[in-house]
């Protein structure tokens, strides 16, 4: 995978499918997810940098996605 050199993962759901997009910086990944949420093109889940969750989206109930949900979404996307 050519994107493997990039260290930051943006995890999201689009059309009920989990997906990952890779970025060079946390800021780029967060901006991508926030823009996708505004345009209603995707449902953000989290941003992972160096194997750590650095940003997580809050779902409609106001609770942060759990680490288990993030791990499950990431596994489905890979």
Phi, psi of 66 (to 5 degrees): -75, 160
Cβ neighbours of residue 35 closer than 8 Å, sequence gap 6 or more: none
Cα distances (angstroms) measured from residue 72 to each of 7, 14, 78:
19, 15, 10
Q: What's the pTM?
A: 0.83
Sequential pLDDT tens for the chain (78 residues) = 445 567 899 999 998 899 999 999 999 999 999 999 999 999 999 999 998 999 998 865 556 788 888 999 999 999
- pLDDT on residue 1: 42
């Amino acid at each position: 995978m050519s994107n493997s050199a990039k260290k930051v993962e943006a995890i999201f759901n689009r059309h009920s499918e989990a997906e990952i997009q890779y970025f060079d910086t946390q800021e780029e990944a967060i901006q991508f997810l926030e823009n996708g949420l505004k345009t209603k093109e995707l449902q953000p889940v989290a941003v992972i940098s160096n194997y750590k969750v650095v940003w997580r989206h809050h779902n409609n109930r106001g609770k942060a996605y759990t680490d288990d949900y993030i791990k499950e979404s990431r596994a489905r996307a890979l």
